[in-house]
Amino acid sequence: MSTLSDLVLAQGRSSQLDVDWLHMLVADGQLIADLAFADIVIWVPTEAGSFVAVAHARPSSAATLFYRDFVGQEIKAEWRKQVTEAFETARIVDNTAPDWYEETPTRVKAVPVMRRLSASGSAVAEAPVAVLTRHTNLSEARTPSRQELTFNDCASELFAMIASGDFPDLGAPTGPRRGAPRASDGLIRLDVDGVTTFASPNALSAFNRMGFADELEGESLAEVTTKLLPGKLVVDESLPLVVTGRAPWRTDIEARGVTVGLRAIPIRNRGERVGAIVLCRDVTELRHQERELITKDATIREIHHRVKNNLQTVASLLRIQARRGRSEEAREALTQAMRRVAAIAVVHDTLSEGLSQNVDFDAVFDRVLLLVAEVASAHNTTVHPKSSGTFGVLPSEYATPLALALTELVTNAVEHGLAGREGEVEIIAERDDETLTVRVRDTGSGLPEGKVGSGLGTQIVRTLIQGELGGTIDWHTVLGSGTEVTIEIPLRWLDKRQH
């Protein structure tokens, strides 16, 4: 299925700014559907004068009307007139008579999606960027509870803000935190002064677990929160703005070992703040898991750092031993061992710098190439290394054998192909969804008699590429001069091993 960006831009009537705005709106599609107890569909105009669905959110608070996704489909004839009117007039259009969908009575509301031009100004785009439709199932009609009435009121206020360009809010933080609260987790309704006018049972329970024993309704949420945090030396600076509903931010409060995540959504009428919705969720276990992960990540990075230090120490000892070797053969063997250890140390050094256990292999290989200078100087050779293409990001368990194998290949090219002369060593990386292909070319003397050597370096390369990575390797002499080695590593196989 195409992404939202692809679907919107394919219609030919929307800009990238429109796409970005719709992404923010879709991020809160589930919230709107839960508050409205209805299916939410977003339609964008087409050049042919129709509309295509680009997003669909089903409510978790009620049964869905549509079991099949509308995304990518053209609007049905029975909704087109209402959606077109909302788009052309930039006003909310609510039908008065029930609309039937597959023998089920429904009510449809069409809301124009207006895009605000800047976070600080009040200007909006000249025309709607899309139309949002709410599809309510009337067959389940019953006497609504106070919570349902409040949720519906909140949904109506959000619809009005969508039609005026006040929602989503450009000042809201990007990238939702893990465990962001939902409507069903707990909802508090505040008036313009920050006094609670409604608190759902889940919201009240969350505050009870932090030590608040009374009713939230009629209380200032800011004062309640202040009483829960006596003697706190470090408090999130955004907390006052969230608990008063003045800014669309998120924060956590912690008391008695319980952590509650809060998200404030200011409610505005014609640009003026008239209240706020505060969503809350007990995220104690989530935050505990996050702290454990941070601790484990720090431990893993420290392990990689120590492994790198130990490998560098081993490489230094091998270098010293090589300098004191009495035979040329012994010195060469120790020097090669030193370079192999150093290549592995580069990978661990890269892993120690980040949280992920994946590495940007292009950065790793740039550092591995620096080892070529040592090889060249030892063999009275002038080498001009060249690299093109990209390796991309690789799992650590594959970065180490690949770095070591490429070190061997480049070393062989310098030591044997270009020994005592000037030439080039070129590394070409090509990557697609299925295969990573690496070619190592040199302008040296080529393979002697066209045969691949049987030395330790060749055996190491074969073992790493074929055994460790499940790939293939091919040596051949380039027509005219030089050698080319081609490595192919199946990425699908790597993905299976990674999981």
Q: What is the mean pLDDT of residues 369-385?
A: 66
Which pLDDT band, with edges at 50, 70 and 90, does 184 fall under?
very high
Q: What is the mean pLDDT of residues 190-210?
A: 95
pTM, two decimals, is: 0.67
- Predicted confidence (pLDDT) at residue 374 exceeds the cutoff of 80: no
* Structure confidence at residue 499 (pLDDT): 45
Residue % of the chain over a pLDDT of 70: 88
- Predicted confidence (pLDDT) at residue 257 exceeds the cutoff of 80: yes
Query: Do residues 324 and 310 lie in contact, with contact meaning Cβ atoms separated by under 8 Å?
Result: no
Q: Please, what is the Cα angle at 154 between 147 and 240, to 5 degrees?
A: 100
Q: Coil, strand, or helix at residue 161?
A: helix
Cβ count near 138 (within 10 Å):
12
Listed range (98-107, 211-220, 361-370, 444-453) with the worst mean pLDDT: 444-453
The pLDDT mean for the chain works out to: 84
Q: What is the mean pLDDT of residues 2-22?
A: 89
Nearest to 25 by CA among 182, 184, 158: 158
* Structure confidence at residue 471 (pLDDT): 87
Q: What is the mean pLDDT of residues 397-409?
A: 82
Nearest to 185 by CA among 279, 92, 69: 279
Of residues 2 and 404, more confidence is placed in 404
- Predicted confidence (pLDDT) at residue 231 exceeds the cutoff of 70: no
Nearest to 263 by CA among 285, 248, 274: 248
Structure tokens given for 331: 């010195």
- Predicted confidence (pLDDT) at residue 122 exceeds the cutoff of 80: yes
The bridge status of strand 187-191 relative to strand 272-282 is: antiparallel
Cβ count near 70 (within 10 Å):
20
- Predicted confidence (pLDDT) at residue 22 exceeds the cutoff of 80: yes
* Distance in angstroms (rounded) separating the CA atoms of residues 263 and 404: 49
Q: What is the mean pLDDT of residues 176-190?
A: 86
Nearest to 465 by CA among 411, 400, 375: 400
Which of the residue ranges 64-73, 404-413, 449-458 has the most confident prediction, judged by mean pLDDT? Answer: 64-73
- Predicted confidence (pLDDT) at residue 209 exceeds the cutoff of 80: yes
Structure tokens given for 214: 């009374």
Query: Do residues 144 and 153 lie in contact, with contact meaning Cβ atoms separated by under 8 Å?
Result: no
- How big, in percent rounded to 5, are the helix, strand and coil portions of the chain? 45, 25, 30
- Predicted confidence (pLDDT) at residue 75 exceeds the cutoff of 80: yes
